[in-house]
Amino acid sequence: MIEIVEPQLDQASLCEPILLLLPGWFGIESAIVHYVQEIDRLPTLLAWSQKQVVGFLALKQHNEFAAEIYVMAVHPKSHRQGIGRQLVKVAEAELRKLGVEYFQVKTLGSSSQDPNYAKTRKFYESVGFKPLEEFLNLWEGNPCLQMVKKLPPY
């Protein structure tokens, strides 16, 4: 039984252990430090199971119409159990209440050939995001794929 708790600030201490368990995605220490700082500043949904945090999704709202999945992750022992899908669903419901219409996520693009991020893109596609554009110069040394989805009206 998974409970998704509405977005709150200052959740990084509960999210960092999950980032540390996913070195295939979050293997660079400076990147983890950066994510931890940002998660504390961003509204973050938590997925709880048996009093443990098993996943999270940090939201960044850019303007009244547009928001982004800044970072999300699920505990590796709980992958492929529908937790990521539930986190996105609840995040979208929160954004639609605020009138947000466009939802985006940036992830590693397919020209990187990274097998882990190929799975990540499959996940985002499965929850309705479409690839919009790959940027080669936004992230130093890594192709950044912008994926987008139109949210239905509330």
The CA–CA distances, whole Å, from 133 to 25, 103, 108 equal 21, 14, 11
Indicate which single residue of 1, 80, 97, 141 sits in contact with ligand COA (rule: CB under 6 A): 80
* Only segment of 59-67, 122-130, 131-139, 140-148 that touches ligand COA (CB under 6 A): 122-130
Beta 142-150 vs 130-139: how paired, if at all?
antiparallel
- 146 forms bridges with which residues in the sheet? 106, 133
**Assigned token pair, 92:** 């979208």
Per CB under 6 A, 35 contacts ligand COA: no
Please give the backbone phi and psi of residue 117, each rounded to the nearest 5 degrees, phi first: -75, -20
| Shortest distance, position 126 Cβ to ligand COA, whole Å | 3
Per CB under 6 A, 60 contacts ligand COA: no
How many residues bind ligand COA (CB under 6 A)? The answer is 19
Under the rule (CB under 6 A), what is the footprint of ligand COA? Answer: 22, 25, 71-74, 79-85, 107, 119-120, 122-123, 126
